[in-house]
């Protein structure tokens, strides 16, 4: 009986081995695992990400026109007398223009307008030269330069006079360069009734009424 059981067990073991080798007689779980093992592994599905919109650049810079507005032109006239008349009598002057007008008034108020403009031009030319101060008041009050200046102070003109109003207009015209002067780039002048020692060392540019101008 024992041998029969052993033989039956041996047959059963042999049958199981044959089934394993031949692939038959497997349980469902084992067969399923085997089938899945024979198939290629599934590739995980990746989420679709849209590419960001590319930034586009222009090849040339965009330049905005920010040019400054054109400067307003000054008054014009056919003659210097007519130009002087275009300036109102009561308008205020800056301290610098006041000094320039005072130089015109005290040096040349009895001269023709061309002579007054020439005096103003000399003062302006000096501010542009490295030989003299940089502003009108300092040029006019510089020591031993203008005979009407006393101890560095400019006298008070007769502000109600026509001569003062003309001097004010001439100062504005010269400052704004609205009328050409024949003295050009002159830096010096003197009255015709005197002969300073420096005159022989300078080049004469023009003579206007009772003044001679030099560069």
Residue 186 near residue 118, CB atoms below 8 Å = yes
- Quickly list H helices, the chain: 2-22, 28-38, 80-85, 95-108, 113-127, 136-140, 162-175
pTM given for the model: 0.66
DSSP states along 143-211: TTT-TT-BTTBPPPP-TTSHHHHHHHHHHHHHHTT-S--TTTT--EEEETT---GGGGGS-EEEEETTE
Name residue, tokens 């109600």.
160
pLDDT of residue 150: 92
**Per-residue pLDDT tens for 135-169?**
999 999 999 999 999 999 999 999 999 999 999 99
Mean pLDDT of the chain: 78
Enumerate residues 6+ apart whose C-beta is below 8 A from 215: 184, 185, 186, 187, 188, 202, 203, 205
- For residue 48 the two structure tokens come to 């679709």
Does the structure show a pLDDT above 60 at 57? no
CA gap 43, 97 in Å, rounded: 91
> Tell me, what's the pLDDT at 105?
98
The domain defined by 92-182 folds into: Arc Repressor Mutant, subunit A (1.10.10)
Residue 81 has which token pair? 């007398």
Tally the residues of the chain.
215
Q: How confident is the model at residue 88, as a pLDDT?
A: 87
End-to-end CA distance of the chain: 153
Domain boundaries, the chain: 92-182
Answer yes or no: is pLDDT of 113 > 80. Answer: yes
* DSSP conformation class of 197: G
- Say how far apart CA 5 and CA 109 lie, in whole Å: 155
């Amino acid at each position: 009986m024992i041998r029969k059981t052993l033989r039956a067990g041996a047959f059963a073991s042999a049958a199981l081995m044959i089934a394993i080798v031949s692939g038959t007689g497997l349980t469902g779980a084992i067969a399923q695992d085997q089938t899945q093992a024979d198939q290629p592994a599934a590739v995980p599905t990746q989420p679709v990400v849209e590419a960001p919109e590319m930034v586009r650049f222009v090849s040339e810079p965009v330049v905005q026109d920010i040019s400054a507005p054109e400067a307003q032109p000054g008054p014009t006239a056919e003659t210097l007398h007519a130009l002087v008349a275009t300036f109102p009598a009561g308008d205020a002057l800056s301290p610098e223009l006041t000094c320039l007008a005072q130089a015109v008034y005290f040096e040349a108020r009895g001269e023709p307008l061309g002579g007054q403009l020439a005096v103003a031009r000399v003062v302006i030319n000096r501010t542009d030269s490295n030989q003299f101060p940089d502003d009108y008041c300092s040029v006019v009050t510089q020591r031993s330069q203008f005979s009407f200046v006393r101890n560095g102070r400019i006298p008070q003109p007769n502000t109600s006079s026509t001569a003062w109003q003309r001097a004010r207009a001439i100062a504005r015209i010269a400052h704004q360069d609205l009328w050409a002067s024949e003295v050009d780039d002159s830096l010096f002048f003197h009255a015709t009734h005197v002969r300073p020692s420096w005159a022989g060392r300078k080049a004469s540019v023009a003579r206007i009424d009772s003044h001679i101008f030099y560069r």
